[in-house]
Amino acid sequence: MLAPDYLDHAPDRLVLLWQQVEDDILRDVARRISKMDTMTSTAHWQLWRYQQVEAVRQDVVKKLARYTGKSEAEIRRLMQEAATRAMEAEDEIYYHYGKEPTPFADNATLQALLNAGYQQTAGTFHNLTATTANTVSGQFEAALDRAHLKVSSGAFDYKSAVKSAVDSLADTMKYVTYPTGHTDTLEVAARRAVLTGVNQTGAKLQVARADEMGVEFFETTAHGGARPSHAEWQGRQFHRGGAVDYMGKHYPDFEAATGYGTGAGLCGWNCRHTFFSIFPELGSAPAWTQADLEALNARDIEYNGGRYTRYEISQMQRARERTVRRYKRRYLAEDAAGADTTASAVKLRQARQELTDFISATGGRADSARTSVAGFGRSASSKASWAAKRQEQLDAVNNDLTALRQSGKIKLTGTAVTPPALPNTLSFEGHAIEQMGKRQISLAQANEIAEHAILAISQRNGTQHAYYSEKGFIVIRQDGSIGTVGWLDDAGKQIVEVMKQHGF
């Protein structure tokens, strides 16, 4: 018998391994998409596109080859550990009732079942990963085509098209294709295959042990957060081989009532329930009373004005955990592509806070395995947190500047942003030179204003920026030409004061 908490976390190490593969692949395709701006003619584009798709396919095959051995070793280790745990717990029941099961390690039948379970689980997952190269390269090819169409049609600039393509892949990219045509991530496929394989193998071992010991009755385990179809039979006692009335009690048929042996039933897909042997004739009392079971299924958790079961709350928490992972993956993919990560950093910060607040409000428990992204370590987390904090500061600056405009205290238009890198060469000509002469600003002073800017104001759809320092301002266009330059007047001083108040 395996505890629900053990089954919930049993796949974690394998999931982390395959998350690393996913993240490596995602960052690789993001980097490749970011290079599409070098293609100009249609002929060059078609050739480059073909080369990139083939390169992705080959790289995926190489990555899978590197990780397959580790994956199979972890599956074998986990199956052995889980089987040993299950049989130790089951045999304790037999010992308690004075029975003597043969040692698990010495039982050829049970060892054969364990090996068959490993072979089936490893084989199932191997067959799925065999589809990964084509599954990934097909999505990469489609993303390239969409991005190229957006740019070539003039509907999007290059940076926007790349960011859109990268974000879409980060959010939706699948890595395996099932025989039914259903696609999924490696993480989900690994968790499902291993959890199902471990639980089913443990169950087969317990049934074989029950056959050896002549056991006819089982009791299912119970846990909070069970899906409704499983809550119907959890924590109840059954008879193998048909329903019976025995010693004044009715025992439903084990297989028919629980769906044991089917994907949707006991020990099926993603199921954390299992069962154990009982001896009604020897006084095996139910482990769960009716009151216990009602408490597990009760709508006793209050949240946001409603009342929910633990299962409903668990599903709501899972959705929030997926949102955290979504923005971590977006951040990593955008970073790999050289795209702006600010929006993803802000949304990640918000998603994390929402998850924390939800767990606090519902009395839940944080599960780091459910929010982890292999490539999102301490360094990436620190950078994302800094970017999110900086954006919040910018939002505060823009709110205050809007208030100053509405009150008529300033006329400045545009949006406050982190100062972009200065062009390699600044061009001082015509109007700019005239303004510098009137305002007695030297070339060195103008450069100093630009180099020591606190913030910039993005204007004209980002084609020019007004750089503000504590001494003055300078407007620089994309081509490096100077629009105007000047010392701070009263309005300019208010603008800089707002920037400084918010940490700039």
Reported as type and span, the H/E element at residue 224 is none
Residue 232: per-residue pLDDT: 92
Would you say 471 and 449 are in contact if contact means Cβ atoms under 8 Å apart? yes
- Is the pLDDT reported for residue 39 higher than 70? no
* pLDDT tens-digit readout, 201-248: 999 999 999 999 999 999 999 988 788 899 999 999 999 999 999 998
Residue whose pair of structure tokens reads 């079942």 in the numeric block: 113
Domain ranges for the chain = 1-215, 216-278, 408-501
Determine what percent of the chain is predicted with pLDDT higher than 90. 57
Q: Is 143 helix (H, G, I), strand (E, B) or coil?
A: helix
Residue 209: per-residue pLDDT: 94
The CA distances from residue 383 to 160, 170, 341, 468, in Å, are 22, 19, 10, 25
Joined together, the tokens standing for residue 147 give 């991005």
β-bridge mates for residue 217, sequence order: 239, 278
Least confidently predicted of 28-42, 119-133, 384-398, 460-474: 28-42
Residue in 192, 217, 196, 197 with CA at minimum distance from that of residue 207: 217
pLDDT band of residue 476 (cuts 50, 70, 90) is very high
Q: Are strands 455-459 and 464-468 parallel, antiparallel or unpaired?
A: antiparallel
Rounded CA separation 119/476 (Å): 66
Residue 4: per-residue pLDDT: 80
Q: Is 376 helix (H, G, I), strand (E, B) or coil?
A: coil
Q: pTM value?
A: 0.76
Rounded CA separation 468/422 (Å): 13
Residues whose CB is less than 8 angstroms from the CB of residue 37 and which lie 6 or more positions away in sequence, other chains included: 158, 162
Rounded CA separation 488/314 (Å): 56
CATH topology of domain 408-501: YaeB-like fold (3.30.2310)
Residue in 300, 316, 310, 307 with CA at minimum distance from that of residue 370: 316
- Is the pLDDT reported for residue 41 higher than 80? no
Q: Is 306 helix (H, G, I), strand (E, B) or coil?
A: strand
Residues 391-397, mean pLDDT to the nearest whole number:
91
- Is the pLDDT reported for residue 1 higher than 80? no
Residue 217: per-residue pLDDT: 95
Rounded CA separation 256/235 (Å): 16
Least confidently predicted of 274-283, 330-339, 423-432: 423-432
Question: Mean pLDDT of all residues in the chain?
Answer: 90
Positive or negative torsion for Cα 299, 311, 7, 118? positive
Residues 65-72, mean pLDDT to the nearest whole number:
89
Taking residue 265's Cβ as centre, other Cβ atoms within 10 Å add up to 19
Residues 64-70, mean pLDDT to the nearest whole number:
89
Rounded CA separation 37/339 (Å): 13
* pLDDT tens-digit readout, 254-284: 999 999 989 899 998 888 899 999 999 888 7
Strands of the sheet with 455-459, listed across from one edge: 415-417, 455-459, 464-468, 472-477, 482-487
Residue 40: per-residue pLDDT: 61
Rounded CA separation 240/247 (Å): 16
Positive or negative torsion for Cα 36, 38, 41, 43? negative
Residue 440: per-residue pLDDT: 92
Residue 137: per-residue pLDDT: 93
Residue 294: per-residue pLDDT: 87
Joined together, the tokens standing for residue 20 give 């690393």
DSSP state of 12: H
Residues 344-349, mean pLDDT to the nearest whole number:
92
Type of residue numbered 300: D
Rounded CA separation 41/95 (Å): 78
* pLDDT tens-digit readout, 69-110: 889 999 999 999 999 999 999 999 999 999 999 999 999 999
Q: Are strands 472-477 and 482-487 parallel, antiparallel or unpaired?
A: antiparallel
The CA distances from residue 311 to 15, 57, 229, 319, 334, in Å, are 23, 40, 11, 13, 35
Q: How far apart are the first and last CA of the chain?
A: 59
pLDDT band of residue 42 (cuts 50, 70, 90) is confident
Residue 38: per-residue pLDDT: 62
